Chains A and B, each alone.
Chain A
Amino acid sequence: MKRYFGRKLLVYILTFFIAVTIDWMIPRFMPGNPVDVLMARAGSFAGATELMHDYYTKVFGLDVPLWQQYINFWGALLHGDLGISVYVFPKPVAEVIMDAVPFDIFLLVPSILLSWFAGNWFGAFAARSKRLDNTILPLGYILTATPYMWLAMLLAWTLGIVFEVFPIAGGYSFSLTPTFSWVFISSLFKHWFLPFISLFLVGFGGWAIGMRNMIIYELEADYSHYLEALGAPRKLVRKYAFNNAVLPQLTGLALQLGVIVAGALVTEVVFSYPGIGYLILQAINTRDYFLLQGCFLFIILGVLLANFVIDIAYVLVDPRTRAGMQGESA
């Protein structure tokens, strides 16, 4: 057990190092650079850029050779310093991310979990009934196959503009100052609903289809037939089938939760929801090395953490993994 996790941990540390290195490299090897973008945005007085260009290159530490930038980057990172953002200059990256993350979690945790539960339950249920399989499941296919952008805009248009039931933009009403009050919280929920339901619908379709296919596959597996041949009750067979079918779904769920801090880019763009996904897009558009690095760092940590949780989960859920470990220690 100890050796199993020890080895896993080593792999995680190595992965982290490589991933963060790549994370550092990618923005720097894209054409364009942040100082140019900052200057292009500011430019106004004749001759001003000339003075400011060198200054800001130094401020962002881009005046030294790449290898030194890389070392400086690790040095700063180990001190918890993610740098200054260019996109929302001059705010520290950590602050920018922390402002956005709550919105992502608030939006994505419920939509992923609820769609997972509802989707799996419905998928398993549908696999059992031919009528349901033929009528409602195609709806799942339509939902997953729909271009998300289109679905989201359709929702925004009908519920937002035509019927004016829900607002179409922002995390809360523009007429509110955040306070811990009923008005504010209800505004939060009102603004949250459309992005939530759009993510839920798409996720729901995907999980339902996956689960339905897995159940049918498991029910056709040899062990199911064997169980049936032994005269086991249908309910028992289905239970075993479900237990096996849920494994890949569980992996999928954990991975989705892992990238939760990456936000939901398209959702956030369509509904103007102030999360990380939108920040990433803007960071790329402004060659904001530091913000991009920061966002990806969180994603790397999230994915690694999620994988780690899956590793533990599999030990608990899947007897085969446990057996393997025992064999190893024996």
Chain B
Amino acid sequence: MKRLSFVLAILIGLSMLLASCQPAVTEAPVVTEPTTEAPAVTEAPVATEAPAEAPPEEFVREETLYMGGTQWGPPTGFNPWNLGNYAAGTFGLCYEPLFIYDPLADEFVPWLAESGEWTSDTVYQVKIRQGVTWSDGSPFTAADVKATFDIAKDAPVSISPVWKFLGSVEAVDDYTVNFTFTTALYQGWSYYLYSTPMISKAKWEGKPVEEVTSGLNPEPECTGPYIAESLDQTKVVWLKRDGWWATEALGLDPKPKRIVDIVNSGNNNVALGMVLQGQFDLNNNFLPGISKLVDGGYGVHTYYPEAPYHLSANTAWLLMNLTKKPMDDPAFRRAVAFAIDVSQIVNVVYGGMVLPANPTGLLPNWDKYIDQAVVDEVGFSYDPEEAKVILAAAGYKDTDGDGFVEAPDGSKIDLKINNPNGWTDWMESNKVIANSLKAVGIKAEPNFPDYPEYVSQRNDGTYDMMISNDAQIANTPWRYYLWMGRNPVADVATMQDGNYGRYENQEVFDLTDQLDQVPTDDIEGMKTIISKLQRIYLTDMPLIPLWYNGMWSQTSDAYWTNWPSSEEGAPHWTPVSWRGYWNMTAIRMLTDLEPAGE
């Protein structure tokens, strides 16, 4: 017995040793773990701004905005070029674009730029706003704008493709920049105007390529209203800075002193619980059954007080692999389009939280580009009888009597519909689609590979059908058509920019390129081309638009009020903190907030 306790003592001692030696490597135990990365962040920017003020032990709840729904892993750093991985808020709260785009009003709002115009067919001139300063006090000038684009010439970053049609960037004077294009791709360029984070020349010039593409950038320089205070495993903390240009120039003043973005837990129940407890002021996770929360007196609000509750963010498609039989047959694809009961997905799976897609798939903010005459003529709607008629007419018959049709050449049809495992709303929708297809005699089963496998099947073209939502809301429908029909088809695996169905139609490719060259203010010119595209897509049906995923947004009035809402008098901004939404007016949501106490 004595010996036993001795051994136990060794074991415990060992485990304690293990426990204590691990933190020793990271400097100190749990307590200081985040400080190993925090100090660099907290000291530098703050020191230059305010008198070096250590972050308080506990944030004052009334002065802090808690949000979540963007960050899917521990935040790493503030490198704006590290798309998809930079800490939530990096582009938007800290780095800012030249313009912001308002998808609800469909207009560009000058931001760091004061104005911008095409001075000739191939020259775009931007006038920079005067009085904008970086967080270290130095002025933001035309040289910074030039540096931003020049960096992307050497380092392969998100905006690098601009150099395929951009010839040069020239700082005419401190506040004027000329962009000279080799080919003026007006539509493509318009997207860069609000999606490019402006960085500081002094800070980034001369950095090695790997530092630009993969650096952490722990001390970001900001023109925006907030500076990075700290980050740790579970959150990013932004601190309001003095001297944000828009306070003087536009009278905008964000009220929260701190913004804390909380990392998603990978378990939506936690997010739901935190919304119920009022820990979140703004949550952008998909929370099923939101209607119960909105109507249940929990103090939770959404953009629309009733269905569909959320604005639309992207189009969910059924992609079909056109290199495989029978998906290579337009008649078969058209039959599939008529067979799917989208209203069941919308009402049963989502409980009315999403809208059914227009047959063209264009998001509601692109309504004006929909050619209703074309849709009426060649569009589709849920009609299983029609689907059966189309199938029969194209020679799909049940020859072996198993209840499912065979292809005209007699081969069996047995399809798999992919969507990533764990995406529960899509999984349920997938089941509805499979059942819809079975109801018209097409054998199809839902298939749930994990996300990387889903992506690799998509890139390699080994899937049959899949649910996908590649085309996000943007200023121009050209981006939507680019995702649908991107050329060349051969390189889809490494390109990953769309056309996963491998749709080959030179006319479509040409029209898409033509559309790119139409000036953004030439709405009629755009409509003419888009109408042609719509006719081809609705006739050929290379993919089937199903429903619009929402800008999931749950807000609480407990500490902050005046959230964006469809109601009259309320601000109409995009109510989401996702990457790429701050520059679509979410920043205005912030500046319109009011403390609940007042």
- Return chain B residues, CB-CB under 8 Å to A188: 30-31
Q: Is B11 a contact partner of A254 (Cβ separation < 8 A)?
A: yes
Q: Is A113 a contact partner of B15 (Cβ separation < 8 A)?
A: yes
Q: A180 and B32 in contact (CB under 8 A), knowing A169-B265, A174-B235, A278-B266?
A: yes
Interface string of A31-54 (1 = CB under 8 A from B): 111101111111111111111111
Interface string of A89-107 (1 = CB under 8 A from B): 1110000101111110110
The reply on A118 being an interface residue by CB < 8 A is no
Q: Is B273 a contact partner of A169 (Cβ separation < 8 A)?
A: yes
Partner of A178, one of B79, B232, B495: B232
Segment touching B, from A128-136, A206-214, A267-275: A267-275
Q: Is A49 a contact partner of B495 (Cβ separation < 8 A)?
A: yes
- Return chain B residues, CB-CB under 8 Å to A90: 76-77, 79, 82, 85, 214-216
The reply on A181 being an interface residue by CB < 8 A is yes
> Looking across the interface, which residue of chain A has its beta carbon closest to that of B421?
A285
Chain A 163-214 residues near chain B, CB threshold 8 A: 164, 168-171, 173-181, 183-185, 188
Q: Is A183 a contact partner of B32 (Cβ separation < 8 A)?
A: no
The reply on A225 being an interface residue by CB < 8 A is no
Q: How far is it, in angstroms, between the C-alpha of A39 and the C-alpha of B23 when the chains are bound?
A: 34
Q: Is A286 a contact partner of B6 (Cβ separation < 8 A)?
A: no
The reply on B325 being an interface residue by CB < 8 A is no
Interface string of B25-43 (1 = CB under 8 A from A): 1100111111100100000
Q: How far is it, in angstroms, between the C-alpha of A49 and the C-alpha of B277 when the chains are bound?
A: 41
Q: A42 and B83 in contact (CB under 8 A), knowing A106-B30, A168-B273, A316-B6?
A: yes
Q: Is B270 a contact partner of A169 (Cβ separation < 8 A)?
A: yes
Q: How far is it, in angstroms, between the C-alpha of A174 and the C-alpha of B221 when the chains are bound?
A: 25
Segment touching B, from A7-15, A16-24, A68-76, A153-161: A153-161
- Return chain A residues, CB-CB under 8 Å to B580: 44
- The main secondary structure of chain A at its interface with chain B is helix
Q: Is A99 a contact partner of B33 (Cβ separation < 8 A)?
A: yes
- Return chain A residues, CB-CB under 8 Å to B157: 48, 52
Q: Is B4 a contact partner of A243 (Cβ separation < 8 A)?
A: yes
Q: A30 and B234 in contact (CB under 8 A), knowing A254-B11, A309-B14?
A: no
Chain A 240-295 residues near chain B, CB threshold 8 A: 242-243, 246, 250, 253-254, 257, 260, 269-272, 274, 278, 281-282, 284-287
Partner of B160, one of A51, A174, A185: A51
Partner of B74, one of A88, A156, A175, A178: A88
Q: Is A41 a contact partner of B84 (Cβ separation < 8 A)?
A: yes
Q: How far is it, in angstroms, between the C-alpha of A31 and the C-alpha of B260 when the chains are bound?
A: 36
> Looking across the interface, which residue of chain A has its beta carbon closest to that of B459?
A36
Q: How far is it, in angstroms, between the C-alpha of A282 and the C-alpha of B230 when the chains are bound?
A: 23
Give the residue among B16, B31, B56, B159 with the most A Cβ atoms within 10 A. Answer: B31
The reply on B367 being an interface residue by CB < 8 A is no
Partner of B452, one of A45, A109, A270, A286: A286
Chain A 61-86 residues near chain B, CB threshold 8 A: 84
The reply on A239 being an interface residue by CB < 8 A is yes
- Return chain A residues, CB-CB under 8 Å to B38: 177-178
Q: Is A48 a contact partner of B160 (Cβ separation < 8 A)?
A: yes
Q: Is A282 a contact partner of B73 (Cβ separation < 8 A)?
A: yes
For residue B19, give the distance in angstroms from its CB to the closest CB of chain A.
4
The reply on B55 being an interface residue by CB < 8 A is yes
Q: Is A45 a contact partner of B496 (Cβ separation < 8 A)?
A: no
Q: A174 and B260 in contact (CB under 8 A), knowing A90-B216, A313-B7?
A: yes
For residue B467, give the distance in angstroms from its CB to the closest CB of chain A.
15
8 A-B contacts (beta carbon < 8 Å) = A30-B453, A32-B451, A32-B454, A169-B270, A173-B58, A180-B31, A287-B452, A309-B11
List 12 extra interface pairs beyond A54-B494, A250-B7, CB under 8 A. A37-B451, A49-B495, A51-B156, A52-B213, A90-B79, A90-B216, A105-B19, A168-B273, A175-B61, A188-B31, A260-B15, A313-B7
* 6 nearest A-B residue pairs (beta carbon): A32-B452, A47-B161, A272-B265, A41-B84, A42-B83, A42-B84
